[in-house]
Amino acid sequence: MARIGVLSISDGRDFVARDLVDHITTATTALAEALRKDGHEVIVAPEIVWTNELATSQARWLADQRPDLTIFNYAVWAFPHFTMLAAEATPGPLLLMANIDPAQPGMVGMLAGGGGLDQIGRVHARAWGDIEDPAVRERVLVEVRAAQAVRGLRGSTFGRIGGRPMGMYTAVANTDQWMRTFGVDVEEIDQWEIVRRSENASQTRVKEAREWLETKGNVHYDGKQLTPELLERQIRTYYAMRELIDEWNLDFSGIKGQPELTTHFCTMDIAEAFLNDPYDWEGPKETHVCATEADMDGALTMQILKLLSGDPVLFADVRHYHADKDVWDLCNSGQHATWYAARSDDPAENLAKTHFHPEVFFFPAGGASVHHLAAPGAATFARLTRRDGAYRMHVMRGDFELYDDATNEAMARQSTFEWPHAFTRLHVPATEFLGRFGSNHIHAVPGDYVAELRAVCDQLGVEFEGFGDAA
Ligand SMILES: C[C@H](O)[C@@H](O)[C@@H](O)C(=O)CO
């Protein structure tokens, strides 16, 4: 649910403004009711703006309510300087909304106000038409969802556990730029904290978690790389992370893992999978975005996708391209959230399709990797990257696909079988993707969020770079 402010703007002539009150009030009420019907909280400014003083005072009053999105409503011709003054007093995302009514020049009011805002570089979005029209309502709701995500980021904290993994420039971002562009702070935490705190969970709690994984999932002990003791150590790292999240009030996080923990302690795959999942062995919980390899821009992309969709977010390497099928193997180095196995609210359904395999040769410390194949369905793929220091958001559509068992297995065995796989048909030619994509990691959520991501980028002042049919 978003918090939406609505400010209606009118004509500056008292004798005209007086006559327009009923018309404006009807339009404002229709807009507010439509948004409330979609579950949002709508706060309407107490007075219609028809003087310069009201433009400032009403916008300030609305700003004090801290809406995620402020809508300036144009049901009539509105003096444009009211838009300028009201925008000056409005700190967050802004949408100009015009009624299309031949009897009243609301559209003209929006264009004049919007043009003025363009002249001063004030970012805003626009919508027009009858709010009862589903297409118009959806246009407004795209902005609402985007604003909610943008405002959800601001004032949040990313926990960076460990530093740059294996020389990966794409995993490291500038904290000044993060604060300025996204309003996100970074808390730096040493990986020693995971090791140190892994002693803290009670043995009873850890044993019950291990038994849950053994019962609901498919654990493949080999007596060497994966033993009950190593699985319990991994469960302890999950509890250590939960402690860190609570103690430092972390909104999302990333763990370096490689090479220190994966060579000398255990992999973070169990911790990362179940932080990202909407449940753990103790029951349902909120998802917590946690990026492999402490990939900062990866985590930030994931957090945006989470705030838009509410779903667990996929983190994957762009691992292999099956040219014969035009399908990519999006495979992470040990975990995807187990939810992706069947996308069920019931963990048992997802875990039944999940295999905990002994870690492969890259990770001598051992533990379980989290293997499954992503269930089929349409998804949106995204990744914040930087070109010459400036952020851009790569966005594309695609579909997770599955085939018969033999084909699935043969494809998974071509890369690292023990890791999770999302066989993906991207709606973009491979040559375009490989020629332009600026990272080794990609992120996804089920559903179509291309319009929302475009709106998020506009609101953040980040370049939207759509690929294929998302261009
Ligand atoms: C094998 C490496 O250690 C992996 O971690 C690598 O494939 C990556 O995940 C790079 O993002």
Digit-coded pLDDT (tens) for 221-270: 999 999 999 999 999 999 999 999 999 999 999 999 999 999 999 999 99
Confidence of residue 31 (pLDDT cuts 50, 70, 90): very high
Atom of ligand 1 nearest to the CA of 440: 11
- The answer, yes or no, to whether any atom of ligand 1 lies below 6 A from the CB of 258, is yes
Indicate the top mutation candidate among 168, 272, 293 to test ligand 1's pocket, ranked by most ligand atoms within 8 A of CB.
Answer: 293
Residue pair 342/278 in contact by the 8 Å Cβ criterion: no
- Per-domain boundaries in the chain: 3-133, 156-470
Q: Do domains 3-133 and 156-470 have the same CATH topology?
A: no
Task: Please give the average per-residue pLDDT across 138-159, as a whole number.
Answer: 98
- The answer, yes or no, to whether any atom of ligand 1 lies below 6 A from the CB of 362, is yes
In Å, how far are 117, 383, 401, 438 from 313, measured between CA atoms? 36, 12, 17, 19
**400-432 tens-digit pLDDT:** 999 999 999 999 999 999 999 999 999 999 999
C-alpha to C-alpha distance for 348 and 220, rounded to whole angstroms? 17
Indicate the top mutation candidate among 166, 168, 269 to test ligand 1's pocket, ranked by most ligand atoms within 8 A of CB.
Answer: 166
- The answer, yes or no, to whether any atom of ligand 1 lies below 6 A from the CB of 293, is yes
| Ligand 1 centroid to residue 262 C-alpha, Å | 11
C-alpha to C-alpha distance for 216 and 348, rounded to whole angstroms? 6
Predicted pLDDT of residue 416 = 98
Protein residue closest via CA to atom 6 of ligand 1: 333
| Ligand 1 centroid to residue 319 C-alpha, Å | 9
End-to-end C-alpha distance for the chain, whole angstroms: 29
Predicted pLDDT of residue 3 = 98
| Ligand 1 centroid to residue 210 C-alpha, Å | 26
CATH architecture, domain 156-470: Alpha-Beta Barrel (3.20)
| Ligand 1 centroid to residue 230 C-alpha, Å | 21
Confidence of residue 162 (pLDDT cuts 50, 70, 90): very high
Which residue in 306, 252, 292 sits closest to 441, CA to CA? 292
Indicate the top mutation candidate among 164, 255, 256, 258 to test ligand 1's pocket, ranked by most ligand atoms within 8 A of CB.
Answer: 258
Check residue 212 and give left, alpha or beta (phi > 0: left; psi -120 to 50: alpha): alpha
| Ligand 1 centroid to residue 397 C-alpha, Å | 24
Check residue 338 and give left, alpha or beta (phi > 0: left; psi -120 to 50: alpha): alpha
Residue pair 7/38 in contact by the 8 Å Cβ criterion: no
Predicted pLDDT of residue 100 = 86
Task: Please give the average per-residue pLDDT across 33-42, as a whole number.
Answer: 97
* Angle, CA 438 vertex, CA 437 and CA 443 arms, to 5°: 75
| Ligand 1 centroid to residue 72 C-alpha, Å | 48
Protein residue closest via CA to atom 3 of ligand 1: 362
**326-352 tens-digit pLDDT:** 999 999 999 999 999 999 999 999 999
Confidence of residue 313 (pLDDT cuts 50, 70, 90): very high
In Å, how far are 66, 161, 210, 306 from 290, measured between CA atoms? 28, 10, 21, 11
| Ligand 1 centroid to residue 15 C-alpha, Å | 70
- The answer, yes or no, to whether any atom of ligand 1 lies below 6 A from the CB of 295, is no
Kindly state the percentage of the chain with pLDDT values over 90. 99
Indicate the top mutation candidate among 296, 333, 362, 442 to test ligand 1's pocket, ranked by most ligand atoms within 8 A of CB.
Answer: 333
Task: Please give the average per-residue pLDDT across 145-165, as a whole number.
Answer: 98
- The answer, yes or no, to whether any atom of ligand 1 lies below 6 A from the CB of 198, is no
CATH 3.30.565.10 given to domain 3-133: no
Whether residue 259 has a cis bond before it, omega within 30° of 0: yes
- The answer, yes or no, to whether any atom of ligand 1 lies below 6 A from the CB of 439, is no
Q: What letter represents residue 131's amino acid?
A: I
What mean pLDDT, rounded, does the chain reach? 98
